[in-house]
């Protein structure tokens, strides 16, 4: 069996657009007629340019190769052009293609992907979700409303979720780390208090940041929210300061989580070796794919760290996350986005059930992709999947930053 064909679909989720501005799906076909699906988590270039990168990686390292040779394809791609180091864009392309190979292998052997990764460790996967606006919430003011966040948290708990994530801590700027405004610290404390008061001990609080703080600024914010016992303090410093995570972890009594903007075991191992993280959050469409992330999880075991695969993308990456999660002994939970469009793209083939995702049983990734629906929603914008803010933190008027993807109305 050999890989012979590649198709790429760039689809844009409709309003309100949870999951980013666009998703990049790849479809591989073999000379035996088996097809496999993967998803490339968006990189630092636009989707048109990214499609050229994906095709280049496929034609150089995947075309005419047996899909089972993921190790060889990884080493060739990782070393491409005399680099042999983590490259976010190239690894994003590789990751989606690699996921599609596992989908093919599972279908060819009539087994779910998790069965090829050491078998079932977890019959179901604990899910968590961001707090998204409910139908009666204003899409703009929700992100600075502790009351609205508490209502959304209660809604998730009523549906069986046992962990909720929120991110009220101010802008992600292209200027690097900054000190949080006092208003951002106060708002973060108010969010933690309102949500904790609402859910009690029914759910863990997952405090999200996205690398927007200096080390000292992250410590100030972390210590302010300590009394509410969040389960994690997510990506407190920029991902290009791998050695600084340990300083935050040693100063704040909240487990540090990180990983959505990291790729390959080279970066994850550095954070683990320095004691910088207790929870890893790889995004499988960027981290190197399923096999590389299985290795990352094995390294994490040695350091008594847990895995919580990240998702701010489409349902194909989510499916890959779930299969990996089913196989992991050190799984904590997996991020989930429940929208009608996510569900429709994979025709409801994997779903959350009372706060958990049952292990898929169908061959491969266990999903059926609605190609017509994906193609019917092309991306026509000019932005990237996620974007940083140019303006600095506003210390006078406060900040309202609804993530890196503009809300569609």
Alpha-carbon distance of 329 to 33, in angstroms, equals 34
Query: 390: how many CB neighbours lie within 10 A of its CB?
Result: 9
Contact status, residue 154 vs residue 194, Cβ threshold 8 Å: no
Q: Which of 136, 137, 178, 210 is catalytic?
A: 210
Is 310 among the residues known to form the active site? yes
Distances (CA, A) of 75 to 6, 64, 102: 20, 16, 17
Would you call the peptide bond into 16 cis, given omega within 30 degrees of 0 as the criterion? yes
Interior angle at CA 310, CA 245 and CA 88, nearest 5: 70
Angle between helices 47-57 and 88-109 (to 10 degrees): 60
Q: Which of 66, 241, 310, 323 is catalytic?
A: 310
Strand blocks (E) in 332-397 = 334-335, 356-358
Query: 59: how many CB neighbours lie within 10 A of its CB?
Result: 11
Contact status, residue 318 vs residue 336, Cβ threshold 8 Å: yes
Is 66 among the residues known to form the active site? no
Partner residues linked to 126 by β-bridges: 356
Q: What Rg value do the Cα atoms of the chain yield, rounded?
A: 20
**Two structure tokens written together for 200:** 């009690």
95 φ/ψ angles, rounded to the nearest 5 degrees: -60, -45
Residues noted as catalytic = 210, 310
């Amino acid at each position: 069996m050999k890989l012979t064909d590649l198709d790429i679909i760039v689809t844009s989720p409709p309003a309100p657009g949870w999951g980013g501005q666009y998703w990049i799906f790849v479809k591989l076909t073999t000379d035996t007629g088996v097809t496999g699906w993967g998803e490339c988590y968006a990189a630092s270039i636009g989707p048109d340019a990214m499609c050229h990168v994906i095709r280049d990686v496929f034609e150089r390292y995947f075309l005419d190769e047996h899909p089972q040779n993921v190790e060889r394809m990884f080493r060739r791609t990782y070393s491409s052009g005399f680099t042999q180091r983590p490259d976010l864009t190239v690894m994003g392309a590789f990751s989606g293609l690699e996921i599609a190979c596992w989908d093919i292998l599972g279908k060819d052997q009539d087994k779910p992907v998790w069965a090829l990764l050491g078998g079932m460790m977890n019959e179901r996967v604990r899910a968590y979700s961001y707090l998204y606006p409910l139908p009666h919430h204003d899409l703009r003011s929700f992100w600075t409303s502790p009351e609205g966040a508490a209502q959304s948290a209660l809604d998730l708990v009523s549906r069986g979720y046992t962990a909720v994530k929120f991110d009220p801590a101010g802008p992600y700027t292209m200027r690097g780390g900054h000190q949080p405004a006092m208003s951002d610290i106060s708002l973060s404390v108010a969010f933690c208090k309102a949500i904790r008061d609402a859910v009690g001990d029914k759910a863990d609080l997952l405090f999200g940041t996205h690398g927007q703080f200096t080390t000292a600024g992250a410590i100030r914010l972390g210590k302010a929210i300590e009394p509410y016992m969040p389960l994690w303090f997510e990506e407190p410093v920029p991902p290009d300061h791998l050695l600084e995570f340990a300083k935050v972890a040693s100063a704040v009594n909240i487990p540090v989580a990180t990983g959505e903007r990291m790729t390959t075991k080279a970066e994850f191992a550095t954070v683990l070796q320095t004691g910088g993280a207790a929870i890893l959050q790889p995004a499988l469409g960027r981290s190197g794919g399923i096999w590389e992330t299985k290795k990352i999880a094995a390294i994490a075991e040695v350091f008594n760290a847990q895995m919580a695969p990240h998702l701010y993308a489409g349902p194909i990456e989510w499916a890959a996350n779930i299969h990996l999660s089913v196989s992991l002994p050190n799984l904590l939970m997996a991020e989930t986005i429940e929208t009608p469009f996510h569900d429709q793209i994979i025709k409801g083939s994997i779903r959350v059930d009372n706060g958990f995702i049952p292990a898929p049983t169908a061959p491969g990734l266990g999903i059926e992709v609605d190609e017509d629906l994906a193609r019917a929603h092309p991306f026509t914008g000019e932005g990237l999947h996620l974007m940083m803010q140019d303006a600095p933190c506003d210390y006078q008027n406060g900040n309202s930053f609804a993530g890196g993807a503009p809300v569609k109305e």
